[in-house]
Amino acid sequence: MKAWTGWLMGVALLAGMTGSARIAAAATPDKLIHRDVLFGNPDRADVQLSPDGKHLSFLRSVNGVLNVWVGRTDDPSKAEPVTHDDYRGIRTHFWAHTNEHILYIQDKGGDENWHLYVVDLRSKKTRDLTPYDGVQARIQQVSGKHPDEVLVAVNNRDPRLHDIHRVNVVTGHSKLVQQNDGFVEYLTDDDMKVYFAVKFTKDGGSEIHRATGADSWSLFATVPHADSLTTSPIGLDESRKNLYMLDSRGRNTAALTLLNIESGESKVLAADPKADIAGVIAHPTKNIVQAVQSTYTRRRWQVLDRSIADDMQVLRAVADGDFNINSRTDDDRTWIVAYAMDTGPVRYYLYDRTTKAARFLFTNREQLEHVKLAKMHPQVIKSRDGLNIVCYCTLPAWSDPDGDGRPDEPQPMVLFVHGGPWARDHWGYHPYHQWLANRGYAVISVNYRGSTGFGKEFVNAGNSEWAGKMHDDLLDVVAWAKKNGVADSDRVAIMGGSYGGYATLVGLAFTPDVFTCGVDIVGPSNLVTLIEAIPPYWEPMLDLFAARVGDPRTPEGRAHLMARSPLTRADRIRKPLLIGQGANDPRVKQAESDQIVTAMQAKDIPVTYVLFPDEGHGFARPENKLAFNGVAEAFLAKHLGGRVEPLEDTSGSTITIPAGSDGIPGLPRSLRDGGRTD
């Protein structure tokens, strides 16, 4: 059971005697951490147990590309690769309940047309279970009751709608079990039955429908617009008579509730007054929710089932970080537990419930165990209209010797804005925080209004406030950082991806005097063209976008969206801007970056544009991520005065720089003219 999803040796200073000399004057900086330590492939990730507990799987590099490895649980050091991806890398995988098959998804060049593949561990053969061009597959359900089969949602009939198919992982045979006639998502169970489905309404609310026959539905519940991002069904209990829900109706934060399907009686099982219940752990076969987690500044667990209370108490004492239970065997005797740390890599443990012993397995990035990382400090900052904005601040370690979260003197700062916007930042190891802090910058991430996890009032405060009050929250955090001696008033950059890229463009176009420079990664520049070009399978969510961002289908909505689009104010940008884009991005298409670059060039405003022909919404291949971050590092050093690791070898990357390569000092010769010559 999971929450309704709805839907990263020598030191050469290229900046000369600029701010870097000032940084070093106060204290001796720590040793430079190489970018590949922070942004290269992890040593291990996505650690899973087979349902019978005999084997353990994880993602690990093969010739620089992430693949699935499998080994015996009692000796994972002898694990071997079972997949053979040789370019993009696998990002997530699952065990089928046969215990002999691994499932994983993969797209082409970031187009997000995911195919579902199965690997037979005995024959070592791989089969594409969804061999359709231009189609996106999503794993809907795996079940111990039907080990040979999985439910898969596929939009091969209508690109807007994902139908539910029952697919045999051994034979590859597929059978349609539920045609989608307008729903966003379905709720299914271990019996491979469809029970509920959700659709959005014209006002941005949602409806939960109950299956009453093979192709018949009845309206089960109505969710108002105010609750549509904080209320959803997440699973059925063992009896199938009660529905678990995350529900904010009649309250602010989303609680875990249990709703009797026939009587409609609902009771609250767990709640947090400051934060939404954001995740649950349930028994692997009985569908009983046993504990819930919520996060205000740090993760908090509430135990509901006494049978695991002692286990949770033991796990709290194993390590200092925030832990999560990643995987459980069907007999529930063995768990994989991961601990997120702010100053170290993720630590994985094998937990034996019989002996109550946690055995350390490995970390996700071994090299991080040998470098000095900086602490991440949660900080709650008041907005100008009284909202509590949860932020996370990381400082260069040498600037804060007493570790109180305040530097000895103000530092050049990077405001790092998360995407979404219906997402949030968390405490823990953050590669961008550690990278930037190591280069000499204070870094602050901001959970601006509209971010999820803090209750419906907070998320709804972001409605129609793109480039409005959502941006004011960012400005208020910058003002706080300056007032409290964190940020050097003359050296503050803004950086982020997706919505964070949009916020970067807004920062430079709407408030051109606030930021020293900006780094936009796959950010939209025109909200009208953004929404009009959404992937077809997002069309059922168009009313949600219209209600919370703006409606391009009406003259008033279109005018509002254009007024909040950085493209309309491109001529006001006068601070240095770096843009990164994937050519295959299905969410924020390349045109979003192309058009603002063109507008700036028409006004002779300098801009540096980095384009990857084999990437989508963000940069997945480590070679490309390292190349872009190398460019960004030189860019930030030029304008903020931080430290630089030279960008020397980009031969493994497909990076091109169509515009503004002269704005990046120290570029390899092959990148200076907008393309590659090596």
Check: CB of residue 551 under 8 Å from CB of residue 584: no
225 in catalytic set: no
Q: Return d(Cα 526, Cα 565) in angstroms, integer.
A: 5
| DSSP states of 62-116 | ETTEEEEEEEETT-GGG-EE-----SS----EEE-TTSSEEEEEE-STT---PEE
Which residues sit opposite 348 in a β-bridge?
338, 362
Residues pairing with 350 in the sheet: 336, 359
CB atoms near residue 654 (< 10 Å):
17
Give CA torsion, residues 628, 631, 632, 638, to 10 deg: 180
| CB contact at 8 A, 218 and 202 | no
Task: Please identify which of the residues 50, 498, 525, 653 carries the catalytic annotation.
Answer: 498
Q: What distance in Å separates the CA atoms of residue 569 and residue 560, rounded to the nearest whole number?
A: 14
Marked catalytic residue, from 163, 189, 322, 585: 585
Q: What are phi and psi of 671, to 5 degrees?
A: -105, -5
**Cβ 100 vs Cβ 82: under 8 Å:** no
- Which neighbouring-strand residues pair with 198? 185, 208
The three-class DSSP label of residue 427 is: coil
* Buried-state track 28-53, b at ≥16 Cβ within 10 A, e below 16: ebbebbebebbbbbbbbbbbbbbbbb
Report the alpha-carbon distance of residue 399 to residue 410 in Å, rounded.
9
Query: What's the rounded Cα separation, in Å, for the pair 48 and 213?
Result: 36
Question: Are 301 and 311 a contacting pair, CB within 8 Å?
Answer: no
Cα distances (angstroms) measured from residue 271 to each of 208, 278, 301, 302, 531:
22, 10, 11, 9, 35
498 classed as catalytic:
yes
The answer for 467, left when phi > 0, alpha when psi is -120 to 50, beta otherwise, is left
In angstroms, the first-to-last Cα distance of the chain is 49
* Neighbouring-strand partners of residue 633: none
Catalytic residue chosen out of the listed positions 55, 418, 617, 639: 617
Distance CA 440, CA 641 (A): 8
DSSP β-ladder status, 577-582 and 608-612: parallel
Number of continuous H segments (helices) and E segments (strands) in the chain: 12, 36
Catalytic residues: 498, 585, 617
